[in-house]
Amino acid sequence: MISFVEKEDIALIRAAKNGSSEAFTQIVRNYKDFIFHVAMGILQDPRDAEDVVQESFVKAYLSLHQLQDERAFPSWMAMIATRLALDLYKKNQRGRSVSLHEGIFLPPAAADETRRSDLRLSLWQALAHLKPEHRAILILREVQGFNYQEISLILDIPIGTVRSRLHTAREQLRRALGEEKGGNAHEL
Amino acid sequence: MHMSCKEIEECLSSYLDGEILPEGKARVEQHVARCPACSSLLQEWQSQAMLLQEAISSIPSPAEMESHVLQKLENIDLMRQKGPILHVLAVSSLCMGLLSCIWVLTPSSLLLWSVAHVSMRLLGGLSRLVVRLVAGQGWMILSIVLLAVLLAGLSLAGIRQILRGKFLMEAGAK
């Protein structure tokens, strides 16, 4: 969870705005996992997620001077990454039509926590049933901890839509998770 | 006033996120305390949120990702450094090209003037002068044209480099 900025990061962002490449390199190190997880949650593919990470940092590097408030850096980065991920998803959808579970990356799990990893597997598969917009809003809220105001800015939608979309996304995930748990139990 | 399960369900998401007014919060809490269905739904959403956070956060980012990002940024810095040099090169080549065009045009107009002059003389029977003029100025014109073509080529190459640099920057930004 990285929805707030540390004091050191604010100093780094200011230094990067003043042209320090070293400061931006440190920002990349601090925020790469955060951006990767946002992209991964939406796209569910590590190669596509990495592409989004690269493009997000390039875009941020070229337009950092436009960022007025350094404290808004995480939501600004999340906005760039989310929009790029949603665009890439649409672009990929135009070029291919795969079945739901085909080609979906499955996250690695430790061998000693079988039940928990089964649950994670079910959740990951259930997530694939959701629309990318619903996955995006769930990742931004549940994983990255952004509040409604920030999500509204990131996704460029009114707060009322954030509220209703989150409700729909949670309910759809719950139902899909129920189906996946049933399906995986039969397979096991 | 008691709220129905349907009404509560609509507020449950906001309640879970702490994005509800104190009045609504109290109503939800009262309802959930006596409604097993809504209480169970709330618990399910809470546990799936935890599971989602766990599942996404446990995915390691690719090992080479950081170096790929830094390489891209390095390329942008290189393009930024090269940019002004290429700009100066292209502008100077363009100026030289223009000057050479003027240079070519001036003797040409002189030649045209000479041709007109000679034609007038020709009418007077001085045809030798034509041969001398063409033979004398022809080599000069040819060399100037070649120089102009060379300089125009150089300026085009410079412009191409600048456009390529801009394209790379834009491609990087997308």
pLDDT digits (tens, 9 = 90+) for A136-178: 999 999 999 999 999 999 999 999 999 999 999 999 999 999 8
Which of A54, A163, A170 shows the shortest C-beta gap to B69? Answer: A54
- Tell whether A127 is within 8 A of chain B (Cβ): yes
- Chain A from 1 to 30: CB within 8 A of any B CB: 1, 21, 24-25, 28-29
Place of tokens 């097993």: B36
Name the CA dihedral angle for A10, A14, A16, A19, rounded to a multiple of 10 degrees.
-170
Contact predicate A162/A148, CB 8 Å: yes
pLDDT by residue (tens digit) across B68-98? 999 999 998 888 777 667 777 777 778 877 7
- Tell whether A111 is within 8 A of chain B (Cβ): no
Nearest one of B169, B78, B74, B68 to A52, comparing CA atoms: B68
Nearest residue on chain B to A87, judged by CA atoms? B174
pLDDT by residue (tens digit) across B37-54? 999 999 999 999 999 999
- Per-residue pLDDT at A99 exceeds 50: no
Interchain pair B17, A147: CB under 8 A: yes
pTM, full prediction: 0.71
CA distances from B110 to A12, B114, B143 (A): 66, 6, 16
Provide the shortest C-alpha distance from residue B45 to chain A (in Å).
7
Q: Which two tokens stand for residue A94?
A: 């135009």
- Tell whether B14 is within 8 A of chain A (Cβ): yes
For residue B20, the SS3 value is: coil
Q: Which two tokens stand for residue A91?
A: 């672009």
Cα gap A173→A66, rounded to integer Å: 36
Sign of CA dihedral B40, B44, B50, B53: negative
Cα gap A145→A128, rounded to integer Å: 21
